[in-house]
Structure 1
């Protein structure tokens, strides 16, 4: 969030500066990845005979990652800077760690310790402040140690006593951040899984933790399909159509996917000595996915989760295309027997044409990725075409269909939106976002029939949780109620829908949704110019989840409609129940609340708002000159 100040200091702001910074950050990550792969290539022994091939492979491997069309959504979806910054700090941390490792192994204990602790300590903190999966940095360093770097050390001659001492010092220093962080991450993931199974998870998720664990192997294979069989257009950001696995055989792909993922992890571990780059690509990927694709109840699927874990994924392919040795040789290999019959220069000729073929193949791959990424980026520059394509690629996604319908309505094609939404509603009759958008589309034509109203009421009565859609959609409708596009969307029609939502036991079990609903009903009464009823509903809304922000917003609404006395009464109610306000207990929300308390922010805002309302009340009470 702090990095957004590079792009804007006021809101709303144009998107271009944010996207430009994201693009520069993506390019920076590509450069850092090339440096890391080149460093690994030298330390792992790939550059012993032909250093330029290993360096070229590092550049090619980072280019394949940089140009992959799957990461267009990460780069151009502004908020996914939270996925890019951890990658930046992880790459920096690994480079610092490698520098410290080299110094320590050559006797520079003090300098090496500083570099290692800066990389695995300082950069881990910065990466974690960007996003939680940044805490994996030390574990990823351990992955490098167990694969590429470990394989190189296993093929060298016995170390002299001084180097053995340096290696012991290095392991001791590196263990300080690696072991506690690795143990903490593993413990937390196990605890999150146990807690989710024992106590359940949020009502917004239509699956359990056990079902999520069964589903994620299928998701990971889908990611790998998109990574190794790239295509110009990906499903995008709407993935709510994915159904969770309910058993190993439901759906049938669950068990084969679990076996395949387990086999890949085992293969990565077994290949770590003989094919270290390949093992690194496999194990780095699964370690990088360990937080977002296991027991934490996040949404099942998102493309941006592949940004960091895939960084060394294309390095083995690049090594092969550049003619570098993929297989790690054992010390003192047995010489091959010399054959008597050998055609002169034939191996050299074959090697030449093989190298030419690989060069052509590398150019074709890079060119293909470039064209696909260009097509994907161009699509992100056209929101209407993007919405329609995502709806076509995700036919069972309610979000994708609602988004496409909004694009059609915004371009004056409500009939197309109605056809789309009616098909989607038949598949998902309890999806409020579809039903409410169907209302809006019918209203744009000038009339809403009773059947459409019935669909919307049913969806609001049965929907699990529609998040911020309640406040945003109904808020817009209330604002337009004085001059509605169609007569049915007047205040009475809006209240009918809100009462249907209040009858939804699932929604009413969530304090935030109860607060939204009572506050919206208060806004309806405010639009009717009934301040006393508005005040009662606003007080009831505040009691559901006491917080200063809600109290001030509702008081400001009352004041802006000329009801300063009721607004002051609402602030009095907030002052009476303020001691019951629940503060965030963890994470950045807790830190934010602590900073605001230290600055007395809410006290100053309360005083300012009271002063403004009091002055307004006095001005209205005084006789006009």
Structure 2
């Protein structure tokens, strides 16, 4: 702490910066308040948080531990992020406001860490102290107030990206503090200890928040080679070179090796539940990165938000023609940054840090093509060279330009957060902003329908269908509403079937099958008849892209089994259920089938699947399980008791299903 303390005691002017930083965090709170008070849960929030309902209420240490081990969002399960969710709500359904409030606080803290990191980066440079504070504060302000982050901060599940960024920034701050100490022989040993601890602790905590926290060594490698080498003008001795090679270069190379392994394991030219291959994704990402940079460097009052499914992917170097230009531009940008690292170290640092941050999520991993939150941490220092340029303006221009930029960012940010506080208006805005996005249209359609605007919902989807009549998502979404309005025709069903069989492949469209079957079971006014749902499922089964993945093939069979139950065709239902159970081999699948059978009074058959689930668990089969064994054993006892009660009340019908392990 001596380094920081001595800095604060200098006779230059640090105090205004320190006083203004809390004002920045307060401004963030005020700007995001409309989104907090009127916000809602979206998309991935539901599968990640609805598991809270499995416990009734998470109020014991055992239940807390079970929830922390229930994560499905990545290889680690992201338990630290799940832990923070428990402080906001411990049951489901729940109020989104506490979750959003924590997100906003975390965003403000991240802005504070960017201020600290930027100051630590600039501190050893030969600049006046007030300049360093002003540059750090302006960097933090330009980043924190940017309207682009509304879709990250007000989307609850992106707490994972924000928390990972928090620990990475904390690790960077600790590393810079330690490396500053290593410049003095008297404190060098303590400095290396602090730097190593920051790398290790920050990296581990970041990874268990979200896996791209593993990029911390790569970020620090950029700092070592650009900031410390050329901005601080530090010559590396033999010990420092070994340190960098062992703790920064080796982990960075391992990340590249992992990406190569994934490419070789799954194939660069194969589809993985996506309409594009990893190779096509790799060709597309340079175009997307330049779009990201355009949106970040030229702020605007509106962005696509969560919808980039209409973005055309590249199928070759010249298809579309912008592909080759974007690849060349990206290579040129990286090469120029490396070439100018001595003359313009801040520009080189900001650019290479940004590109390093996209190594995992913007290369070959079979993820969605684009999301705004992927820029949250990579753009942390993107505005540092801009801040430095603004501070070099003549005083009269600087006093006009800097406040003007801050005001514009704040106004745009408030417009975005106000819109996020009105979920129905937001969904319609997304549909208008992304007219070629099927998902944006379907989300707006659903929101309007849920809030009692069926005519407006139907008008919206009909307009979209005139532009994209071959879209399976649009055709299927419209069927239920047309049924409730009494306008559903055989032509509509045929068009939906045809769009599934010959329209553009959409890996997300199969998600509509389960709610469609649920409506049939619940006898909802929007529900199609059983035969119509069968035809739709059969259309999916006839198309290779939908039917080939094992998980989809078995999902179709499971839903067909549920349909047969509604028609009292127990033998046909059991045939489908037995196939699904034997091929998945999962405890969770057996419990779902048990629940379906019990709900229709087939108690003996339900008991058979419950016994099979118990047998699988006792054999050590934990495939797909989200909770500890003890939780399932208690659940088995509870379910057996409920089956006993139902059996004593309604009798024991003969068993029709014979599940086989």
TM-score by length of 2: 0.81
| Cα separation, 1, equivalents of 2:144 and 2:240 | 33
Match of 1:28 in 2: 109
Superposition RMSD in Å = 2.5
Deviation digits for residues 365-409 of structure 1, max 9, x if unmatched? 000000000000011111122112211221111111111222332
- Kept in 1, the 8 Å contact 2:448–2:456? The answer is yes
Match of 2:644 in 1: 614
Match of 1:343 in 2: none
1:53, distance to aligned residue in structure 2 (A): 1.4
Which ranges in structure 2 are unaligned for 5 or more consecutive residues?
1-81, 653-661
1:435, distance to aligned residue in structure 2 (A): 1.4
**Alignment pair present for 1:484 and 2:525:** yes
* 2:204 aligned to which of 125, 131, 137: 125
| Cα separation, 1, equivalents of 2:279 and 2:619 | 35
Which ranges in structure 1 are unaligned for 5 or more consecutive residues?
324-350
- Kept in 2, the 8 Å contact 1:471–1:516? The answer is no
Match of 1:389 in 2: 429
- Kept in 2, the 8 Å contact 1:498–1:517? The answer is yes
| Cα separation, 1, equivalents of 2:635 and 2:451 | 41
Match of 1:8 in 2: 89
| Cα separation, 2, equivalents of 1:279 and 1:556 | 59
**Alignment pair present for 1:95 and 2:134:** no
Instruction: Summarize the Cα distance change of 1:568–1:582 in structure 2 as closer, same or farther, 3 Å threshold.
Output: closer
Match of 1:458 in 2: 498
Q: Residue 14 of structure 1: SS of its match in structure 2?
A: coil
- Kept in 2, the 8 Å contact 1:148–1:277? The answer is yes
1:169, distance to aligned residue in structure 2 (A): 3.7
| Cα separation, 2, equivalents of 1:615 and 1:61 | 65
* 2:388 aligned to which of 292, 304, 319: 319
| Cα separation, 2, equivalents of 1:542 and 1:578 | 14
Q: Residue 373 of structure 1: SS of its match in structure 2?
A: helix
Matches within 5 A, 1:299-338: 299-323=368-392
- Kept in 1, the 8 Å contact 2:221–2:248? The answer is yes
| Cα separation, 2, equivalents of 1:265 and 1:210 | 21
Instruction: Summarize the Cα distance change of 1:254–1:582 in structure 2 as closer, same or farther, 3 Å threshold.
Output: farther
1:312, distance to aligned residue in structure 2 (A): 0.5
**Alignment pair present for 1:185 and 2:255:** yes
**Mean alpha-carbon deviation: is it higher for 604-613 or for 306-315?**
604-613
- Kept in 2, the 8 Å contact 1:120–1:138? The answer is yes
Aligned length: 568
- Kept in 2, the 8 Å contact 1:402–1:434? The answer is yes
**Mean alpha-carbon deviation: is it higher for 553-562 or for 139-148?**
553-562
* 2:414 aligned to which of 332, 352, 374: 374
- Kept in 2, the 8 Å contact 1:432–1:459? The answer is yes
| Cα separation, 2, equivalents of 1:248 and 1:499 | 37
* 1:407 aligned to which of 443, 447, 454: 447
Match of 2:533 in 1: 494
| Cα separation, 2, equivalents of 1:533 and 1:610 | 25
Deviation digits for residues 113-143 of structure 1, max 9, x if unmatched? 3212211111111111111211111111111
- Kept in 2, the 8 Å contact 1:109–1:169? The answer is no
**Mean alpha-carbon deviation: is it higher for 506-515 or for 12-21?**
506-515
| Cα separation, 2, equivalents of 1:460 and 1:601 | 40
| Cα separation, 2, equivalents of 1:577 and 1:388 | 47
Give the number of the structure whose alpha-carbon radius of gyration is greater. 1
Match of 2:319 in 1: 250
Match of 2:304 in 1: 235
**Mean alpha-carbon deviation: is it higher for 571-580 or for 243-252?**
571-580
1:518, distance to aligned residue in structure 2 (A): 2.0
**Mean alpha-carbon deviation: is it higher for 420-429 or for 99-108?**
420-429
Match of 1:333 in 2: none
1:411, distance to aligned residue in structure 2 (A): 4.0
Match of 1:327 in 2: none
- Kept in 2, the 8 Å contact 1:44–1:151? The answer is no
Match of 1:358 in 2: 398
* 1:111 aligned to which of 190, 193, 200: 190
| Cα separation, 1, equivalents of 2:529 and 2:517 | 13
TM-score by length of 1: 0.85
**Mean alpha-carbon deviation: is it higher for 174-183 or for 408-417?**
408-417
| Cα separation, 2, equivalents of 1:55 and 1:468 | 53
Match of 1:68 in 2: 146
| Cα separation, 1, equivalents of 2:440 and 2:520 | 25
| Cα separation, 2, equivalents of 1:383 and 1:561 | 37
Instruction: Summarize the Cα distance change of 1:127–1:467 in structure 2 as closer, same or farther, 3 Å threshold.
Output: farther
| Cα separation, 1, equivalents of 2:644 and 2:510 | 32
| Cα separation, 1, equivalents of 2:223 and 2:206 | 18
1:614, distance to aligned residue in structure 2 (A): 2.9
Q: Residue 130 of structure 1: SS of its match in structure 2?
A: coil
Match of 1:86 in 2: 164
Instruction: Summarize the Cα distance change of 1:435–1:75 in structure 2 as closer, same or farther, 3 Å threshold.
Output: same
- Kept in 2, the 8 Å contact 1:470–1:517? The answer is no
* 2:336 aligned to which of 240, 263, 267: 267
**Mean alpha-carbon deviation: is it higher for 311-320 or for 204-213?**
204-213
